[in-house]
Amino acid sequence: MVTQAESTSAAAARPLTQKARNPLTRLLIIGCGYVGRRLAQYYRALGREDLLGVTRTASSAAELEGEGVPARACDLAGDALAGLPLAGAQVFHLAPPPARGVEDLHTRRLVAAFAHAPPSRLVYISTTGVYGDCDGAWVDETWPARPMADRARRRWDAEQTLRAWGRDSGAALVILRVAGIYGPDRLPLERIRQGLPLVRETEAPYSNRIHVDDLVAACAAAMERGADGAVYNVCDGAPTTMTDYFFRVADAVGLPRPPVISLAEAGEALSPGMLSYMSESRRLSNRRMIEELGVRLSYPTLDAGLRAAV
């Protein structure tokens, strides 16, 4: 009998299939920034030569080319998308929604382009913000989405747009709901240096994170073997508070810990963006990602991840 642990590690160790290696299958990373670049390097290391990274600006595309990744600039907000080689491709959609509103018009434009050039498979990076405030509960993928902030409503809109496309087209779609991303060059050092206050730990809501390398592993696993139509939480499964996170980062780099204030004082002292994060509390389960997607985390705790990140 194969145990759950054995089948999980077998899935994690399984190499990419021939289909994924087929040089005729183009692999697009749309929104090829901090995460996308690492994802591109992961595939380059596997010998994939049919990669294309898509960025909004020509300068970012040039930087990508400089790293050996074929790249193209194409702004989902307004550029013609007909030239993107989407037909039959495996697509990672990592581009963020617009900065305002409650709809993701970028994803809507992209999906409109699929009508003429349908990809074979798409992995979308959403956020855990779509769950809204869960009052500190443990949250798995069956938890109803109740986006509260506009940034989360835009993500929910993107998920719905893509789901409708997946249903209508029959193409495979996998949605990853990703927690706060951290890693090398992606730590809140500037905020810590400025000594901006944090809500004291006993009153701070739960928050969740993922190291960028583990996110890359989850992206690749989702492309390789994510169930069609499935949603996976992507997080390290070790929720703490934002305050704890900032304290640990400060300790790891040898900076003084920021001062703390009460939740009642936060309304005056924190930025609207930070306040909106402070109004949501949830502890995310990553069981499905581990057991069904077969991801083996390199950094299951903040301490391990921060040691590698600083």
Ligand X SMILES: NC(=O)c1ccc[n+]([C@@H]2O[C@H](COP(=O)([O-])OP(=O)(O)OC[C@H]3O[C@@H](n4cnc5c(N)ncnc54)[C@H](OP(=O)(O)O)[C@@H]3O)[C@@H](O)[C@H]2O)c1
Task: Decide if residue 62 touches ligand X (CB under 6 A).
Answer: no
233 binds ligand X (CB under 6 A): no
Window contacting ligand X (CB under 6 A); options: 5-13, 19-27, 32-40, 113-121: 32-40
Q: Is 211 helix (H, G, I), strand (E, B) or coil?
A: strand
- Residue 35 Cβ vs ligand X, minimum distance, rounded to whole Å: 3
69, 86, 122, 125: residue in contact with ligand X (rule CB under 6 A): 125
Residue 166 binding ligand X, by CB under 6 A: no
Say which residues have a Cβ less than 8 Å from residue 281's Cβ, sequence separation at least 6. 133, 134, 135, 136, 205, 206, 207
Pairing between β-strand 206-207 and β-strand 240-241 as defined by DSSP bridges: antiparallel
Q: Which is nearer to ligand X, 79 or 261 (CB)?
A: 79
CB nearer to ligand X: give 55 or 161: 55
By C-beta, is 106 or 153 nearer to ligand X?
106
Write down the H helix ranges in 170-262.
189-194, 212-225, 242-253
Residue 99 Cβ, how far from ligand X at the closest point, in Å? 9
Torsion of CA 72, 77, 81, 83, to 10 degrees: -30
- Which helix (H) or strand (E) is 27 found in, with range? strand 27-30
Least distance from ligand X to the Cβ atom of residue 122, Å: 14
The tokens of 161 are what? 């747009």
Q: Considering just the CA atoms, what is the radius of gyration of the chain in Å?
A: 20
Judged by the rule CB under 6 A, the positions of this chain that interact with ligand X are 31-36, 54-57, 60, 75-77, 94-96, 106, 125, 127, 178, 180-181
